Structures are given as structure tokens and as C-alpha cells.
Amino acid sequence: MRIRSGLALAAVAASLTMALAGCGQLEPVGAPVPTAVPTTAPEPSTDPAAAWLDGGRGIGLVTYGSSSLACTPAVQDVTADGQTVVVTLADPDPKAACTADFVPRATFIDVPASIDPAADVTVSFDGAGFAGRVPLSGSSALGSVAQGTPSAGWFAPDGIVLLTWGSSTCRPVVSGLAEEASGATVTFATDATKACTMDFVPRVTVLGVTAPADPSGYTLTLKGGGLDGEVTVVG
């Protein structure tokens, strides 16, 4: 009887093994459950960023918020602490009417003379509802831009800050942007009837482009608005 019982148990075990094999291999206890790989692209960053401008004499600080000029952060004070540019942003006018959009805007910062743009820099900023520290890599090639001429720098793989100079009341308005592999043509609107003040100030414009495979040598061709020329984007 014992032999028959053992054979019977062996037969049952063999049948069970064959049945399980037909259904596929069993996962060990505690094995991780496969998860679906996300197919959507990550959301673009809206963290503050910075770009070199004016051959290292200036920095464009990019923040996100209303596109209204009166609601873009303005510089109240700039100092240097070693290789750190310390920026105090002015509180906005509480009576200013701000549009409800949420876009990148740039604030021009005059770099203190003690800062070496060939070495890495940190931009520390506070005020106007913003606070943070942004690293900026130094470059020995920054000093090749003539003062008072247009310049541009990368603040993101697909974001450029363009610096132009002219009247504070007639800031550049982009009417078109056409991209090619090595750069983009930026067209500005021209309004000959608008009265412009005679001051000569830095104006910063944020441009969104397709991230190039090789950002070095990327060139902006400027047309219209009295800004005709070419600018190589640094950074």
C-alpha cells in the first residue's frame, strides 16, 4: 500500500508539473511587476536660467510669468561676491496690469567689473517673488562682441536670449522666425509712425527654437526694425 501511495503521489506531481509548464513559467514570489514605459516627452523646465550677453559684460536672467513688460522683473541692485553675481530684483508696480499668460521673460544684468566671464559664475537673485541661484559656465570666447552691438546666448537647449540696443520705448517685436539647420532668420516688425525716445538702452528678447544637434555656430540673421545683421549664439 505504501508503494502504491508513493507512485500515485508521484503521478499527481508529474501531471501538475506538465500542466503548469503548458501555462507558461511561473514568476518567483516577490518578482517586480513590469511597468509601461512612458511615451510622452517630459514637460519643459520653467526654472530660472541665465545666458551670457554683450561679450560677458551682461547676463540675461530668464524667469517665467506674464509677458507684460511692466510685469517683467527689473534690477534694483547688482553686486559681486567673488565669482557670484548678487542681484536684487525690484518689487513690481502693484498697479501694473499683467496678462495671464506664462512665458519666459529676460532681465538684463550688468556684470560687475570684478567678475571674470572666462571662469564659472553663479547668479544669485532675490526679490519680485523670485529667489534662487543659477550656475553659468565661463568662456574665454566671450570678449569678441563689440559694445553696443547685438548679441545672443543660450539659456536652454531650445531657448535663446537676444540682446539689442536702442530706444526704450520702441522695443523689438518679432514678427517671424524661420529656422534652418545652422541657425534662424528673425524678422522684426517695423512701425515708422511710432515716436521713439532718443535713449540707448539694452533690450532683451526671448526666442524659442528647435534644439539644434550642435548649438555651436548657431547664427541668428536679424531683419527689419533697424536691426539687420548676424549674431552668433554663445553658450
SS3 9: helix
Query: Which of 147, 162, 148, 132 has its CA nearest to residue 52?
Result: 162
DSSP label of 233: E
Q: Report residue 122 as a C-alpha cell.
A: 553663479
Counting runs of H as helices and runs of E as strands, what totals does the chain give? Answer: 1, 14
The region that residue 4 occupies, defined by phi over 0 for left and psi between -120 and 50 for alpha, beta otherwise, is alpha
- Show the DSSP H helices in the chain as ranges: 2-23
Q: What is the mean pLDDT of residues 122-127?
A: 98
Q: What is the mean pLDDT of residues 127-144?
A: 92
> For residues 88 and 5, what is the distance between their CA atoms, to the nearest angstrom?
89
Residues paired with residue 89 on neighbouring β-strands, in sequence order: 75
Give pTM, 2 decimals: 0.81
What is the rounded (10 degree) CA torsion for 81, 120, 133, 94? 80
pLDDT of residue 206 exceeding 70, the answer is yes
**Amino acid present at 110:** D
Give every strand in the sheet of 219-223, ordered side by side: 174-180, 183-188, 219-223, 229-234, 151-156, 159-166, 201-208
Q: What is the mean pLDDT of residues 42-56?
A: 89
pLDDT of residue 112 exceeding 90, the answer is yes
Tens-digit pLDDT profile for residues 25-43: 444 444 444 444 555 555 6
Q: Predicted confidence band at 143 (pLDDT cuts at 50, 70, 90)?
A: confident
E runs forming strands in 91-228: 103-110, 121-127, 130-136, 151-156, 159-166, 174-180, 183-188, 201-208, 219-223
From the CA atom positions of the chain, what is the Rg in Å? 29
| Confidence (pLDDT) at 39 | 54
DSSP label of 22: H
Share of the chain above pLDDT 70, in %: 82
